[in-house]
Structure 1
């Protein structure tokens, strides 16, 4: 491993490797949309989408962490990222109308 030679740390990191692979895949869409909205100077849409995603995240946190411990935390984080992407995508038609028509 590149960061440590401690066997316990390596073993534990391998347990959560799948989450480290999944997160960038589900996170890129929201980050890309955030860049579009930032460039269009539409911070309100970013704020609103993150606020909605936070509500979902807190619910997922309360539900999944007691059931799955750290895997539940990762699941809630992935769900937050997906929700942020989804909610921000709902603002795209409005942005398109405002900026291009």
Structure 2
């Protein structure tokens, strides 16, 4: 994988805790990113719960978290599911990812 920040290295080192809790974690190197993809919410971070509730993160200019916003609009939910499925299909399972 390409050089990454200390924060990503820290996340990777603790991912085993999420796996133990039942999550399926994957990593997406930049060279696997599909061309021309457009992200929902202008590229802000988002989390998709139960394929029906996206939570969009809001951050200040310095990157500090300001909170999250749950969005229930059907078109936005469908776009989040579509993008997640597309990226999931090209991402690397955690066990195979060696930064």
TM-score normalised to the size of structure 2?
0.30
Pick the structure with more strand per residue: 2
Q: Which has the larger radius of gyration?
A: 1
TM-score normalised to the size of structure 1?
0.29
Pick the structure with more helix per residue: 1
